Amino acid sequence: MDKNNDTVEQVKQWCKNTMIEHLGIEITEVGKNYLCGRMPVDQRTHQPMGLLHGGASVVLAESLASMGAALQVDLTKKACVGLEINANHMRGISSGWVYGKATPIHVGRSTQVWETKITNEAGDMICISRMTVAVIDKK
């Protein structure tokens, strides 16, 4: 079996019955140091003026970074929770898909920092986000 495909399927299971599934976000690839996904730009993710809602971009960024962080720890003993996220929105988009790739900047024992770049289908930067994650003991 292909371990990467197994991991993609595992992460897809985490998304069931969540905001991720509701917005149509799809996990497309999982690697040792990255996690990729895509999100439709449609009525679910638009703001009132018909453009991609900045909050939807943050949902994509936080989802990819959080799941990437979780893949770095033993989930029987640890949990990953978001501490802070920021996002800079560079360009508007009104239809199609946006693509996110989350990569770790720092993976430590108690914190992780992840960067997510979101692009359009042409590869133009739509948003860049940085998220700090706390790694905590499960109770």
Residues annotated catalytic, as ranges: 62
Give the pairing of strands 34-41 and 96-107: antiparallel
The contacts found for 89-94 with CB under 8 angstroms, 24 or more apart, are 89/54, 89/57, 89/126, 89/127, 90/125, 90/126, 90/127, 90/128, 91/120, 91/124, 91/125, 91/126, 92/51, 92/52, 93/41, 93/51, 93/52, 93/120, 93/126, 94/41, 94/46, 94/50, 94/51, 94/52
